[in-house]
């Protein structure tokens, strides 16, 4: 999918503006841990192995890279035969939406998008060895389109923002961390970065959708499904998020996950809106009852997002 050379994006969608406050520091921490791990590993290899052993080790790395490249190319060939590629002829509305979002985010690299019947997690993205493929489950995309443009823009914006973040500052380090995430021994050191990156993706999606309620609705949908998602009361989610923040076992359970708890993603998006688009935040807060406003105020105190000067009072629940 090629992008024309006409810039059409909002300044606040630049990675530096939309990045979660913890993402940069956690990336530096992950890269530092990886550096220490591989320095120790290489020292052991060079001390214990002969020159022949070192040569075999380097050849093994080349074989792994070559095999990964071949598998990706084979997978893409299978997709071309089993899925429908998004083009102006096959899915004109979806294609136009993706192109518009790429322009808005200022992401101009080629992105192949396919629609298929069943996708684990509804949508997946692959960014490896120069190949960028986005898979969308057909029923999921149709359900989002039926609810209006904002929910679909939130989901697509998340993934396009994810790709752009991997071609910005420190992109090489991000790619290294991505390609080595399968090493279980270093998982505990890089998972904090992945959780912060998930928040950044949500923030990209929200800014692409420009609709806080629709963005929160997609997160709720991921938690309970399309049937019950629209009926979730925000106060209940906020109450559960507060319980998660208080309970040590809930925080401990998150340590082994690459994605933060969904209720924490929900609250983070509200806090991000309060820091960047106070009008959206005020609209969300106005729909809460007194208990919900109190819970929201308590949760915003814990948020790393900061209120710009001149914005609404923070936290509102403390008034």
Please give the residue that has the higher pLDDT: either 11 or 317.
11
Cβ burial of 98 (10 Å; 0-12, 13-18, 19+) is buried
Asked if residues 202 and 215 have their Cβ atoms less than 8 Å apart, the reply is yes
- Reduced to 3 states, what is the DSSP secondary structure of residue 86? coil
- Tell me what pLDDT residue 58 has: 74
Residue 205, class by beta-carbon neighbours within 10 Å (0-12 exposed, 13-18 middle, 19+ buried)? Answer: buried
pLDDT of residue 262: 92
Residue bearing the bigger pLDDT, 188 or 97: 97
The predicted pLDDT at position 266 comes to 94
Half-sphere exposure of 252 (CA within 13 A, CB side): 3
Give residue 186's pLDDT.
Answer: 63
CB 215 within 8 A of CB 206: yes
Q: What is the pLDDT of residues 52-85, one digit of tens each?
A: 666 777 787 777 667 766 776 676 677 767 788 8
Say which DSSP state 121 is in: T
Reading the block at residue 133, the tokens are 């493929």
Rounded to 10 degrees, the C-alpha dihedral 142/195/312/246 comes to: 110
264: confidence class by pLDDT, cuts 50, 70, 90: very high
Averaged over 155-162, what is the pLDDT?
88
**pLDDT on residue 309:** 46
The angle formed by the CA atoms of residues 274, 219 and 304, to the nearest 5 degrees, is 35
pLDDT reported for residue 49: 65
Q: What angle do CA 172, 174, 176 make, to 5 degrees?
A: 70
Residues 47, 49, 50: CA angle, nearest 5 degrees: 110
Which one, of 148, 150, 157, lies nearest residue 125 by Cα? 157
Enter the DSSP assignment of 232: -
Taking residues 156-182, what's their average pLDDT? 68
pLDDT band at 133 (very low <50, low <70, confident <90, very high): confident
Task: Name residue 133's beta-bridge partners.
Answer: 112, 126
| Mean confidence (pLDDT) of the chain | 79
What is residue 129's predicted lDDT score, i.e. its pLDDT? 57
Task: Give the Cα separation of 111 and 131 in Å (integer).
Answer: 8
Q: In this predicted structure, what is the pLDDT of residue 294?
A: 92
Mean pLDDT of 210-236: 86
The band of 12, judged by pLDDT with boundaries at 50, 70 and 90, is low
Question: Quick one: pLDDT at residue 70?
Answer: 73
What is the mean predicted confidence (pLDDT) over 30-36?
81
4: confidence class by pLDDT, cuts 50, 70, 90: very low
pLDDT at 109 over 60: yes
| H-type alpha helices, the chain | 15-18, 23-48, 51-82, 92-105, 138-146, 149-165, 171-179, 187-209, 212-224, 234-246, 248-254, 262-276, 278-286, 290-301
Q: Residue 225 contacts by C-beta under 8 Å, 6 or more apart in sequence?
A: none
Put residue 199 in one of left, alpha, beta given phi > 0 → left and psi -120 to 50 → alpha: alpha
Backbone angles phi, psi at 134, to 5 degrees: -115, 125
pLDDT number for residue 5:
44
* Order of strands, sheet of 123-128, starting from the edge strand that comes earlier in the sequence: 84-85, 112-116, 131-137, 123-128
Is the omega angle on the peptide bond into residue 315 within 30 degrees of 0, that is, cis? yes
């Amino acid at each position: 999918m090629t992008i024309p050379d006409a810039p059409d994006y909002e300044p606040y969608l630049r990675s530096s503006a939309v990045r979660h406050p913890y993402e940069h520091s956690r990336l530096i921490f992950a890269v530092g841990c990886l550096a220490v791990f591989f320095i120790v590993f290489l020292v052991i290899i060079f001390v214990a192995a002969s020159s022949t052993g070192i040569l075999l080790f380097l050849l093994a790395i080349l074989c792994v890279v070559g095999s990964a490249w071949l598998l990706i190319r084979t997978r893409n060939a299978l997709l071309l035969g089993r899925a429908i590629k998004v083009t102006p002829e096959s899915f004109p509305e979806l294609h136009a939406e993706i192109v518009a979002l790429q322009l808005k985010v200022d992401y101009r690299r080629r992105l192949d998008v396919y629609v298929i019947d069943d996708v684990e997690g509804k949508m997946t993205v692959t960014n490896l060895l120069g190949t960028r493929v986005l898979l969308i489950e057909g029923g999921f995309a149709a359900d989002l389109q039926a609810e209006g443009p904002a929910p679909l823009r939130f989901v697509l914006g998340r993934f396009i923002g994810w790709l752009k973040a991997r071609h910005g500052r420190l992109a090489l380090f991000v790619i290294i961390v991505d390609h080595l995430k399968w090493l279980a021994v270093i998982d505990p050191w890089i998972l904090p970065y992945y959780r912060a990156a998930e928040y950044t993706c949500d923030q990209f999606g929200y800014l692409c959708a420009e609709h806080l309620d629709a963005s929160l609705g997609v997160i709720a949908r991921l938690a309970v499904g399309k049937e019950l998602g629209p009926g979730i009361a925000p106060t209940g989610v906020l109450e559960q998020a507060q319980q998660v923040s208080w309970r040590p076992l809930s925080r401990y359970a998150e340590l082994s996950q690459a994605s933060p708890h969904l209720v924490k993603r929900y609250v983070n998006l509200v806090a991000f809106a309060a820091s960047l688009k106070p009008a959206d935040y005020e609209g969300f807060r106005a729909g809460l009852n007194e208990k919900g406003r109190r819970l929201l105020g308590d949760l915003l105190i814990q948020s790393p997002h900061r209120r710009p000067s001149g914005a609404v009072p923070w936290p509102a629940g403390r008034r």
